[in-house]
Chain A
Amino acid sequence: MAEATDPPRETFRLSQLLYDARYRSMTIQVVAAILIMLLLVELVDNTVTNLAALGKDIRFGFLWSTAGYDINQQLIPFSSQDTHARAAVVGILNTLLVAFLGCILATVIGVLAGVLRLSKNWIVARIMTFYVEAMRNTPLLIWILIVFAVMTEATPQPREFREGGGASMILWDSVAISNRGVYIPRPIWESGSGIVVAVFVLSIIGIFVLRSIARKRQQATGQQLPVLRLSLLIFFVPTLLAYFVMGRPVTLELPELGGFNFSGGLQIRNSFIALWLALSLYTSAFIAEIVRSGILAISKGQTEAAFALGIQPNRTMQLIILPQALRVIIPPLISQYLNLTKNSSLAIAVGYMDVRSTLGGITINQTGRELEGMLLLGIFYLITSLIISALMNLYNSSVKLKER
């Protein structure tokens, strides 16, 4: 004769906060929240007290006052009468410029080195191994300093380019490498050059359209268009036509030696070249390893399967290997781009005027606003890397293997 009894009443005891898995995470989080709050309050309190002791406050008004310093490389016009905010923008553009060009060069060298390191040719593979190990195991700063020292100490002075001076310009007298920088021809845009540029942009778009048409056509009918040849045709012919039809509106201004320095042409400063080359070479070693591991990650069976289906070797690379390898390669590649962008702050070593030197350097020194300046600088880098990682996540989810 069993009597139905109520289940024991749930009573809450204080010790459950610690020993009951249902409540414990709550306890831990509350304690953590309190500790974090205390820490933040302490930090803010200290900062306010310290600033008050120094007679400072937190204001960003300094951004709109006159900068009063010059920047030797400007993508947008800037004079010492402009504001600190504009100086910061000039610095940001300089950072982005060196980062962008660095990413391109690093990718080119890195892919080349990575592929060559896998070469069956023993010597080539060894040379590339040596290159990669040498670059990866020494600090980037050394490379920046070496390139800068070579550019400033081992190159001739401008006056040596005179008759009998022992130095000469390269590439049909159009490029001069001197210790004051590299001088290259400057394009001069006359009226009508806009049309040429427009035609060029249109033909680039045309190439992409062509590729998509070719892909659709192949998927529908199995017929293949000679994409490469057609692309080359579209790339060169319309632009050249427009160039001559418009009466050659784009001309080059060559650098010429006048007095003690070059005049005309475009001066690329040694600081920029040192930073750009060193960043690219250093990052390329890491990219080479990424490319190598990406290609090795594709099992040999994939190639064999493609051959068994009768697909030609180059189409195998294009259709079977690369799409799979890229899935492995792209995420770490983008994180290398991110590293390169952040490493461009090493510009300080050669005096390149990037955002750290303008906003985080001279501006802070002149206004004494180190808290605000460093905050803005940090936010700039943070936003840049968050944008790049967001793009990476987008790409990742688009190429992810669709399972189930």
Chain B
Amino acid sequence: MSQDRSKSVAFVRRDMIEAAAPPLGQTGALKWARENLFSGWFNTILTLLSLYVIWYVLSGVLPWTLGGIWDAGSLGECREIRDARGLETAACWAVINERWLQILFGFYPTDDVLLATLFHGDALAAAGGADQVFGGGMNATQRIEFVSAMKNELSNGLIFIFGYWRPLVALLLLVVAVAPILYSSLPRSLLVFSLAYPFVAFFLLWGGSVWLPVLVALGLLATILIGRAVGARFGMLGGSLAGILAFLMIFMNPLSFIGAAGLFPLLPHVMGALDGIMPWGLTAVSSDQFGGFMLAIIIGTSGIVLSLPLGIMLALGRQSSMPLIKWVCVSFIEVIRGVPLIVWLFTASLLLNYFLPPGTTFDLLLRVIIMVTLFASAYLAEVVRGGLAALPSGQYEAADSLGLDYWKSMRLIVLPQALKISIPGIVNTFIGLFKDTTLVVFIGLRDPLGLTNAIRATAEWNGIYWELYVFVGLLFFVFCFFMSRYSMYLEQRLRTDHR
């Protein structure tokens, strides 16, 4: 039979035909475009409209940006160059090229001695050496002339790296200090540096004697160690009392009510002695010389670091079963949140001196940092409260039934979960805080926007705005965008539940 059939049929296929490639319209870019861009008449109209909008914006922005003029001394020169090149529009990036150091650092002083020694050696030697020029041989006018002649010769890049090495090193170390907190894959021993960083940064940015930050750090360390040692012998109460006493002895005068200032506080005595033996330090810089984007980073970072613990405490206080604590926290949070930050900043600059003991003078920058911290902590408290409320009450009960005390149950059970839930809100608050640092311009600090206004008011750059705002806006965008992406990464990493 089979024999016959095989003879009767001319051809029998023994293997499958290879699957044909799908039609052109069903693969690759064409399919994607059809599904995502032209899936219906409405979508097609939307796509065409969007393409038109993109083309319209880019055709305006790209020639302006790419054809920008980088080398000019004033806006008028920019326009002449633009007309000479026959361009219709051109950005005048020259203003950024000339003033970017100012926007970044404000009027923070450069390290002129280092610059002169490194790059201006001949002129420095001719003028009689660094001691002669910067030590006091020259009078102020001559020194300013010498420095400005030197800076005219140097490129902005060299001034950036060597003139502003203090804020730059502080920023680099900030990255090092923050990295182990942000990424848990890094060695935990780096966290010691993170703890030490505030003192390092203070020394680099404000300068002065090296012993002040060192001794303050040692004093705090001593306070904690004494408190712990005593606490191990005499229990929690004795430990905290000893700690408070040690703190008062080191940093304040515990006997102020009888007016005996002689021995206490201990810190200035030790500092005076050390300064006498080893007078090490950097040129002191006062807070009113701080400015530019550096100021935003300083206020933003300090605000973020200080407001997180405060905000968590406020949130816990608001959940407390003790009515007094609860109502104090609630009214604090509501009052702070109900009033705009500008009003608080004006309060800090106009009114704070009324509330402090007569004769106290308070650094404006410090006041601003305190106000920004309080403001952000109230918002954080609400975010964290949302996280605390979202936890099932079984978690609280489980912690209690394990016999954990309040702080242990919060630290080990409740807060890790509550904070995880509230990460997006926390980071949004931080981004808001960082953006809000621009408001300090209204109370006279030189933040980047204040500096752009100053640049716009000069004769050379009067009438320029887009270029400056684009530059400052991009600076802020980079930082805020990084923060928001990091929060997404963190959410992903901490997602331990099964989905």
Instruction: Tell me the minimal C-beta distance from B396 to chain A in angstroms.
Output: 15
Chain B, range 471-493, C-beta contacts under 8 Å to A: 472-473, 476-477, 480-481, 484
CB distance B322 to A29 under 8 Å? yes
CB distance A46 to B357 under 8 Å? yes
B contact residues, range? 35 or more
A141 at the interface (CB under 8 A from B): yes
Chain B, range 402-458, C-beta contacts under 8 Å to A: 431, 435-436, 438-439, 441-442, 449, 452
CB distance A377 to B476 under 8 Å? no
A47 at the interface (CB under 8 A from B): yes
A205 at the interface (CB under 8 A from B): no
Instruction: Tell me the minimal C-beta distance from B242 to chain A in angstroms.
Output: 16
Stretch at the interface among B17-25, B49-57, B98-106, B171-179: B49-57
**Cβ-defined partner of B39 (8 Å) among A120, A133, A138, A377:** A120
User: A25-B322, A47-B355, A142-B476 known; A345 and B435 CB under 8 Å?
Assistant: no
Chain B binding surface SS class: helix
Residues on B with beta carbons closer than 8 Å to the beta carbon of A382:
334-335, 338-339
B277 at the interface (CB under 8 A from A): no
Chain B, range 282-332, C-beta contacts under 8 Å to A: 321-325, 328
CB distance B438 to A141 under 8 Å? yes
CB distance A145 to B351 under 8 Å? no
B350 at the interface (CB under 8 A from A): yes
B220 at the interface (CB under 8 A from A): no
B46 at the interface (CB under 8 A from A): yes
CB distance A145 to B449 under 8 Å? yes
**Cβ-defined partner of A121 (8 Å) among B47, B237, B356:** B47
Query: In the complex, what distance in Å separates the CA atom of A75 from the CA atom of B487?
Result: 45
Residues on B with beta carbons closer than 8 Å to the beta carbon of A142:
438, 449, 469, 472-473, 476
Chain A, range 328-346, C-beta contacts under 8 Å to B: 342-343, 345-346
Question: Size of chain A's interface in residues, with CB distance under 8 A?
Answer: 54
A302 at the interface (CB under 8 A from B): no
Chain A, range 1-56, C-beta contacts under 8 Å to B: 18, 25, 28-29, 32-33, 36, 43, 46-47, 49-51, 53
B347's closest neighbor in chain A, by CB?
Answer: A374
Query: In the complex, what distance in Å separates the CA atom of A342 from the CA atom of B353?
Result: 25
CB distance B435 to A370 under 8 Å? no
A122's closest neighbor in chain B, by CB?
Answer: B36
CB distance A370 to B350 under 8 Å? yes
B337 at the interface (CB under 8 A from A): yes
B346 at the interface (CB under 8 A from A): yes
CB distance B50 to A374 under 8 Å? no
User: A123-B47, A370-B350, A371-B351 known; A46 and B340 CB under 8 Å?
Assistant: no
Residues on B with beta carbons closer than 8 Å to the beta carbon of A377:
343
Residues on B with beta carbons closer than 8 Å to the beta carbon of A119:
46
Chain A binding surface SS class: helix
CB distance A346 to B476 under 8 Å? no
CB distance B50 to A121 under 8 Å? yes
B182 at the interface (CB under 8 A from A): no
Instruction: Tell me the minimal C-beta distance from B182 to chain A in angstroms.
Output: 18
**Cβ-defined partner of B54 (8 Å) among A49, A127, A384:** A127
A54's closest neighbor in chain B, by CB?
Answer: B354
User: A137-B476, A138-B435, A145-B469 known; A53 and B358 CB under 8 Å?
Assistant: yes
B33's closest neighbor in chain A, by CB?
Answer: A122
Residues on A with beta carbons closer than 8 Å to the beta carbon of B325:
28-29, 32
Residues on B with beta carbons closer than 8 Å to the beta carbon of A134:
477
Taken residue by residue from 337 to 376, chain A's Cβ proximity to chain B (1 for < 8 Å, 0 otherwise) reads as 0000011011011000000100010001000001100100
Query: In the complex, what distance in Å separates the CA atom of A139 from the CA atom of B37?
Result: 33
Taken residue by residue from 196 to 218, chain A's Cβ proximity to chain B (1 for < 8 Å, 0 otherwise) reads as 00000000000000000000000
Instruction: Tell me the minimal C-beta distance from A262 to chain B in angstroms.
Output: 24
B280 at the interface (CB under 8 A from A): no
Residues on A with beta carbons closer than 8 Å to the beta carbon of B472:
142
CB distance A381 to B340 under 8 Å? yes
Chain A, range 98-128, C-beta contacts under 8 Å to B: 119-124, 127
CB distance A342 to B469 under 8 Å? no
A157 at the interface (CB under 8 A from B): no
Residues on A with beta carbons closer than 8 Å to the beta carbon of B442:
348-349
Taken residue by residue from 57 to 73, chain A's Cβ proximity to chain B (1 for < 8 Å, 0 otherwise) reads as 00000000000000000
CB distance A137 to B431 under 8 Å? yes
**Cβ-defined partner of B469 (8 Å) among A29, A51, A127, A146:** A146
CB distance B338 to A385 under 8 Å? yes
A136 at the interface (CB under 8 A from B): yes
CB distance B343 to A345 under 8 Å? yes
B43 at the interface (CB under 8 A from A): yes
Query: In the complex, what distance in Å separates the CA atom of A50 from the CA atom of B362?
Result: 15
B465 at the interface (CB under 8 A from A): yes
B154 at the interface (CB under 8 A from A): no
CB distance A29 to B324 under 8 Å? yes
Residues on A with beta carbons closer than 8 Å to the beta carbon of B51:
123
CB distance B37 to A122 under 8 Å? yes
Instruction: Tell me the minimal C-beta distance from B258 to chain A in angstroms.
Output: 19
Query: In the complex, what distance in Å separates the CA atom of A342 from the CA atom of B324?
Result: 29
Query: In the complex, what distance in Å separates the CA atom of A88 from the CA atom of B283?
Result: 48
Chain A, range 185-202, C-beta contacts under 8 Å to B: none
**Cβ-defined partner of B340 (8 Å) among A28, A343, A386:** A343
Query: In the complex, what distance in Å separates the CA atom of A36 from the CA atom of B321?
Result: 18
B190 at the interface (CB under 8 A from A): no
Residues on B with beta carbons closer than 8 Å to the beta carbon of A120:
36, 39, 43
B437's closest neighbor in chain A, by CB?
Answer: A139
B342 at the interface (CB under 8 A from A): yes
CB distance B465 to A378 under 8 Å? no
Residues on A with beta carbons closer than 8 Å to the beta carbon of B73:
none
CB distance B435 to A18 under 8 Å? no
B121 at the interface (CB under 8 A from A): no
A380's closest neighbor in chain B, by CB?
Answer: B339
Query: In the complex, what distance in Å separates the CA atom of A119 from the CA atom of B51?
Result: 15
Query: In the complex, what distance in Å separates the CA atom of A377 from the CA atom of B237?
Result: 44
Interface centre among A121, A124, A385, by most B CB within 10 Å? A121
Query: In the complex, what distance in Å separates the CA atom of A370 from the CA atom of B54?
Result: 50
Query: In the complex, what distance in Å separates the CA atom of A136 from the CA atom of B428?
Result: 10
Query: In the complex, what distance in Å separates the CA atom of A377 from the CA atom of B345?
Result: 13
A52's closest neighbor in chain B, by CB?
Answer: B358
B463 at the interface (CB under 8 A from A): yes
A361's closest neighbor in chain B, by CB?
Answer: B346
A160 at the interface (CB under 8 A from B): no
Instruction: Tell me the minimal C-beta distance from A158 to chain B in angstroms.
Output: 19
Residues on B with beta carbons closer than 8 Å to the beta carbon of A93:
none
Residues on A with beta carbons closer than 8 Å to the beta carbon of B473:
138-139, 142
A341's closest neighbor in chain B, by CB?
Answer: B340
A311 at the interface (CB under 8 A from B): no
Instruction: Tell me the minimal C-beta distance from A378 to chain B in angstroms.
Output: 5
User: A33-B324, A123-B37 known; A386 and B334 CB under 8 Å?
Assistant: yes
A153 at the interface (CB under 8 A from B): yes
Chain A, range 224-262, C-beta contacts under 8 Å to B: none
Instruction: Tell me the minimal C-beta distance from B445 to chain A in angstroms.
Output: 13
CB distance B480 to A136 under 8 Å? yes
Residues on A with beta carbons closer than 8 Å to the beta carbon of B358:
46, 49-50, 53
Residues on B with beta carbons closer than 8 Å to the beta carbon of A146:
465-466, 469
Residues on B with beta carbons closer than 8 Å to the beta carbon of A348:
342, 442
7 contacts between A and B (CB under 8 A): A29-B324, A29-B325, A36-B328, A47-B354, A136-B431, A137-B435, A142-B473
Contacts beyond the supplied A142-B476, A145-B465: 9 A-B pairs with Cβ under 8 Å: A29-B323, A50-B354, A136-B484, A139-B435, A146-B466, A345-B343, A356-B342, A381-B340, A386-B334
Residues of B within 8 A of A (CB): 36-37, 39, 43, 46-47, 50-51, 53-54, 237, 321-325, 328, 334-335, 337-343, 346-347, 350-351, 353-358, 431, 435-436, 438-439, 441-442, 449, 452, 463, 465-466, 469, 472-473, 476-477, 480-481, 484
Residues of A within 8 A of B (CB): 18, 25, 28-29, 32-33, 36, 43, 46-47, 49-51, 53, 119-124, 127, 133-134, 136-142, 145-146, 149-150, 153, 342-343, 345-346, 348-349, 356, 360, 364, 370-371, 374, 377-378, 381-382, 384-386
The 3 A-B residue pairs with the shortest CB-CB distance in the complex, in nearest-first order: A137-B480, A149-B465, A342-B340
